[in-house]
Amino acid sequence: MKKNKTITNFVCQECGYDSPQWLGKCPECGSWNSMKEFKITNGGQRTTNTVSNNLEQSKPQKLQEVAYQKTSRIQTEYEELNNVLGGGIVRGSATLIAGDPGVGKSTLLLQLAISLSFEKKVLYISGEESVEQVKMRAVRIAESSENQHSKLSKSPDNLFLISLTDADVIVEQITEMKPDLVIIDSIQTMESQNVSGLSGSVGQVRYSALQFIRTAKLYNIPVVIVGHVTKDGMVAGPMVLSHMVDTVLFLEGEKFAKTRILRSLKNRFGPVDEVGIFLMEEDGMQEARNPEQLFLTQSGEQVPGSVLVSTLEGSRAFLVELQALAVTTRLPMPRRVVSGIDARRVELLLAVLQKHCHIPLDTMDVFVNVAGGMKLSDPGIDLGICLAVYSSFKNIPLSKAVGIAEVGLLGELRLVAGLEKRMKEAEKLGFKNIITAKKYKSLREVLNQFQKG
């Protein structure tokens, strides 16, 4: 009888680099103290017959000989989710959805499971909650949806719940049941006796994810996996986990705001720049009906320091309100407090205002905020930031102005991608004073026009 052999490797948690010995610094990505022990137990070497059988099964094929069938997708009742996925859930795909604790990952997936279970067989596997707790959450969602014409208020027929953490047993359940969709919540709670270490360790996460992905590809069953995040906002576990799956989604949002944004960080079957807008209501996650107007202030009062910008998220343009406050300070180093935008980008724009527009911001505290809790990284909002700071400094309301341009270090205005789409969205909502790099060449020229007006 062959003895089991234990192979010990050290795996980098950041990039997945394997090494037979521990290294202080990963030679692949340069991270320090990221090598974790990873043990695999096998049953010895493969026989010659096994190797020959595998060679027979893995014989190379010509491209023309490969049987191809257009990939079908499972359509959900959430159009925002369908858009982010590129048109629906691809059969046989592995999707990883991550987000901060309490942001609504499990709620969204449970609603998805309930809505699809009226037509398809759905298996919901929870490693963090018992089936009674999942049922309690489902009943709460259903009771909140009683007065709405929604599938959530009805009793699903083909939704199966199971509370398991053993990855091998889960694979057996999927193989025996063969559902149309599998949801696993979450990958950090999965473990197997074939790999040493506690649940959530590098070895357990890699092994469990590999088993689920193999099962998805073998039986053409889509698998949705929930992942935790670190304190830095990255997907917890080894970086190789993101490389193994087909799609990586990230659900973000502030705990004290009801807006939730679903982003696609990786998608082998569609675009990676699409976003979905949801609202966390009492009856669960709901799609935003007018997401283009979601981040606008409803008040008609014009106040200094408020400027609108048109930002591009995926294929859609959104109008967002930027707020700025510039006040005189007695501190030797003025404060720069920024929320929703890269603080270093704001400091760069403040330096441009001071150098080329002669605004003495070196003696003032400057606060910049994105209304609605949205996070922006679009360079097309540069002009809006400058206008908001100028409006607060001069105490001039510019609420009806929409700024769409990138600002360079020399104070010049540059065209941005999707300008026509941004302008159409602003015009559709009734804004006529749209400032772009087509009308003005420099930031100073724009501010001079406001001084004359």
The first and second tokens of residue 280, run together, are: 């966390």
pLDDT given for residue 147 in this prediction:
44
Query: For 71, which DSSP code?
Result: P
Q: Which pair of tokens denotes residue 144?
A: 């909140």
Predicted local distance difference test score (pLDDT) of residue 149: 44
Cα–Cα distances in angstroms (integers) from residue 105 to residues 224, 229, 305, in the given order: 11, 12, 36
Q: Which residue has the tokens 């407090």?
A: 337
| Residue 346: per-residue pLDDT | 96
Strands laid side by side in the 433-436 sheet: 336-339, 364-370, 316-328, 306-313, 401-404, 433-436
pTM: 0.75
Strands 94-99 and 247-252: parallel
| Distant-in-sequence, close-in-space partners of 144: CB < 8 Å, separation ≥ 6 | 281, 282, 283, 284
Q: What is the DSSP string of 166-228?
A: BHHHHHHHHHHH--SEEEEE-GGG-B-TTB-S-TTSHHHHHHHHHHHHHHHHHHT--EEEEE-
Whether 283 and 291 have beta carbons less than 8 Å apart is answered as no
pLDDT tens digits in sequence order for the chain, 453 residues long? 455 566 777 877 766 677 888 888 888 778 888 787 766 655 544 444 444 455 555 678 788 877 766 667 899 989 999 989 988 999 999 999 998 888 889 999 999 999 899 889 999 999 989 999 999 888 887 776 554 445 555 667 789 999 999 999 999 999 999 999 999 998 989 999 888 777 888 888 888 999 999 999 999 999 999 998 876 667 766 677 888 999 999 998 876 778 888 989 899 998 887 888 898 888 788 888 776 666 666 555 678 999 999 998 777 888 899 999 999 998 989 999 999 899 999 999 999 999 999 999 999 999 999 987 778 889 999 999 999 999 999 999 986 889 999 999 999 999 999 899 999 988 888 888 899 999 899 999 999 888 765
